[in-house]
Amino acid sequence: MADAEGGEVSFFATRDVKATRKPHRCEGCGKLIEAAAPAWYFSLLQDGEFYAGYYHPDCRAAEVELNDLQGNYGGEDWTALSLIPEEPEDKAWLIEAHPVVAARMGLTGGAA
């Protein structure tokens, strides 16, 4: 569908944060990461634009696991956790493999 085209990532850094100083919105599930909770932080430069954000550690783990399963290694092929609700197969996988993350995103099993 509407994949970003030819986005060149010239810088990418990540960091495990033991305890955030203030609440952050998780880029994966879209829910709040409480202050003082652990988080995964990333920053990157793509086509001259700087992006940075936080993930719940288990949201990040789920996203990495899905992309490992799909054989994606970043870049344009990467499936962001936030897109999973729109992909029935990925959604079913998430509910099965990461029920806590799925529940946080408001995803439930049942009639697909």
Stretch that binds Zn ion, among 17-25, 48-56, 62-70, 83-91 (CB under 5 A): 48-56
Query: CB of 106: closest distance to Zn ion in angstroms?
Result: 12
Q: Is 105 in the site for Zn ion (CB under 5 A)?
A: no
Q: Which of 45, 81, 47 is nearest to 65 (CA)?
A: 81
What angle separates helix 88-97 from helix 57-70, to the nearest 10 degrees? 130
Q: Which of 89, 87, 88, 67 is nearest to 78 (CA)?
A: 67
Q: How far is CA 55 from the centre of its chain?
A: 6
Stretch that binds Zn ion, among 12-20, 35-43, 54-62, 71-79 (CB under 5 A): 54-62
Q: Is 28 in the site for Zn ion (CB under 5 A)?
A: yes
Distance in Å from the first CA to the final CA of the chain: 21
Q: Which CB sits closer to Zn ion, 7 or 35?
A: 35
CA distance 49 to 4: 13
Q: Is 94 in the site for Zn ion (CB under 5 A)?
A: no
Q: Is 26 in the site for Zn ion (CB under 5 A)?
A: yes
The binding site for Zn ion (CB under 5 A) comprises 26, 28-29, 56, 59
